[in-house]
Chain A
Amino acid sequence: MEKPDLRVNLGGLVLESPILAASGPFGYGHQYRKIFDFSQLGAFIVKGVSSEPWEGNPAPRLAETASGLLNSVGLQNPGLKSFLSSDLPLLRDCGTKVIVNIVGRTVEEYAAVASGLDGADGIDGLEVNISCPNLKAGGMAFGTDPDATSKVVGAVRKETSMPLLVKLSPNVTDIKTIALAAEDAGADALSLINTLSGMTIDIDSGRPFLGNIFGGLSGPAILPIALKMVWQASEAVRIPLLGMGGITTSADVVRFMLAGAGAVAVGTGIFYNPEIVSALKEGLLEYMMKKKIYRVEDLRALAHRGGFAGDN
């Protein structure tokens, strides 16, 4: 059998591989480019960029939990101007597509970042992080409300003609409602899931461990939740899904695809193994050869359609 075809179309972005680097853990990519070859990636999703610099949360910002990682980095970033002048130029020859994640505290801030990034040389798409607190709604995250989701996505959509991904928050009552709101407002694809809200307590001091008290949980601990949400979203919307949440093995990659993801992203997994991306890709190819699947697109949502025929 010839080598399986790993190419996917993610909302207009044609990617050479369905395995992406999720926004956050890899920062702006400079450090990890010295550790692994970015051409192994379908795309690199850059850490969140806001219109003005964000300072981030007080230390400590990290706590390891059972098969998971709590973080409260607080979307620290140098802001749009500095990203465009200092970080983006270094990414132009990174060997893969670049998707920039955008964050904001108001609808206007999101729109301003999108407008500032639209059409910039070296950017192939945008991903909107709608898990940020909405300053004008008492700090409730945009992504927990269909109307707020619709407003943010609609405002960003107006500012860009680039492929637009919307990254959903799992801290919601019904992921399908939010997924539909994002699709209706013009998203080309959905990324899910962002981290789950959580906390831990230092039993020596008797106080919350994280400087920010609450953090976002990532890592293998959240994978079954992510998988369920990808399954649900794939039943609700027509646009492609980028599945993520605790991927550390190629079996995890396959599960997300069977649940309905067209492509996947790895985040926290890079911390456990800096060479994880090529390991996942190799494992996926092996699986496809074994199952005689020639195009990775054929794996998508197979679990919704009764899985493999026969005893396979």
Chain B
Amino acid sequence: MKKESESVKHYSTAIVAAKQVVNDRYCKLALEATLVAARARPGQFVMLYLPSQYGPMLPRPFSIFAVERDKGSITLLFETRGRGTALAAGLDAGQDLKLLGPLGSYFPEPQPGALLLAGGLGIAPLAFLAKSTTVPITLVYAVQKADHLACQPEDLSRPGLKLLLATEDGSAGFKGSAINLLSNQLEQASALYSCGPRKMLSKAASAAAKAGVQCFISLEERMACGVGACLGCAVKTGQGYKRVCSDGPVFQAGEVILNGKT
């Protein structure tokens, strides 16, 4: 997987430029973080040191949803689910916080005909990937139902991007499993890039392997250090455990074991 040869880990201060509550599940946070914005590549993440008045808290990994290099800002998109994300959602414009990043491996540059599959919040790194290139690609964005869309189709669109929505209940786009929608597209794809729930990744990886298409996946795991030192974010691979934070989060699908006891 693509990694920086001599990666400098920036521990720096970021300022909240804007916060947007997307709906009762999702939140977008724009941060002024010049160094991160200058270096971040699609698939990478940052660790946020969220200020908490009730005891210490581990930093939280957030994947990068968008980068505006000219403004020196990055945008994170997340679901408000636990203590960390609740604190992140509680930040206001003007507040500052510490951050470490950009961290981890990144997706290889998509070639024309690349197929991107995002499940739920897996849209975050794939939206960044889709915007990072001008070549024609297809992005499949699958959620349970329309009001689980963390970002709207108009936020994702660009010339040359074919966007396909899939919902399990048919409330937007294709009705049914994203994997079914994918199977029609896969044969002509130059490669598959996917991020989302493990079960979906596992199915996507099998489908890609069957079609003989190269597949890159981005994984999520609990982390403590974020830089590859503590070995907390282990994922099982054919060559023993690897670190999601620094060997990943982007892996070749064939490399990691996604099913069973990991």
Contact = CB atoms under 8 A, between A and B. Distances in A.
Interface stretch (B151-159, B183-191, B233-241): B233-241
A61 B55 contact: no
B11 A35 contact: yes
Interface stretch (B29-37, B89-97, B136-144, B219-227): B219-227
Interface in B112-170: none
A101 to B, nearest CB: 14
A211 B229 contact: no
Contacts, number: 102
Contacts of B56: 67, 219-220, 248, 269, 272
B174 interface: no
B261 interface: yes
Interface of A: 24-32, 34-35, 55-64, 66-67, 69, 71, 73, 76, 211, 219-220, 248, 268-275
A32 B230 CA distance: 10
Contact of B234 (A76, A248, A268, A269): A76
- Counting contact residues on chain B (CB < 8 A from A), the size range is 20 to 34
27 contacts: A26-B229, A31-B225, A31-B227, A34-B7, A35-B9, A35-B11, A55-B240, A56-B231, A58-B261, A59-B221, A59-B233, A59-B236, A59-B241, A61-B231, A61-B232, A62-B232, A63-B222, A67-B55, A69-B58, A69-B224, A71-B224, A71-B230, A211-B262, A271-B225, A271-B230, A273-B98, A274-B11
Interface in B203-262: 221-225, 227-236, 240-241, 246, 261-262
Contacts of B227: 31-32, 34-35
B262 A27 contact: no
Contacts of A35: 9, 11, 100, 227
Given A27-B229, A31-B228, A59 B9 contact: no
B62 interface: no
Contacts of A28: 229
Contacts of B221: 59-60
A74 to B, nearest CB: 9
B234 A59 contact: yes
Contacts of B100: 35, 274
Nearest to A64: B58
A132 to B, nearest CB: 16
Nearest to B261: A58
Contacts of A71: 224, 230, 232
Nearest to A24: B230
Contacts of A272: 49, 56-59
A269 B11 CA distance: 16
Contact of A59 (B11, B59, B230, B262): B262
B241 A56 contact: yes
A200 to B, nearest CB: 12
Nearest to B245: A31
A111 to B, nearest CB: 25
Contacts of B230: 24-25, 27, 71, 73, 271
B236 A58 contact: yes
A66 B55 contact: yes
A60 B11 CA distance: 26
A275 B10 CA distance: 12
A76 B222 CA distance: 17
A31 B229 contact: yes
B83 to A, nearest CB: 8
Which of A26, A28, A62 has its CB near the most chain B CB atoms (within 10 A)? Answer: A62
A34 B8 contact: yes
Given A31-B229, A62-B222, 9 more contacts: A29-B229, A57-B234, A59-B233, A59-B236, A62-B233, A76-B241, A268-B224, A272-B56, A272-B59
B231 A76 contact: yes
Nearest to B9: A34
A179 to B, nearest CB: 28
Contacts of A270: 225
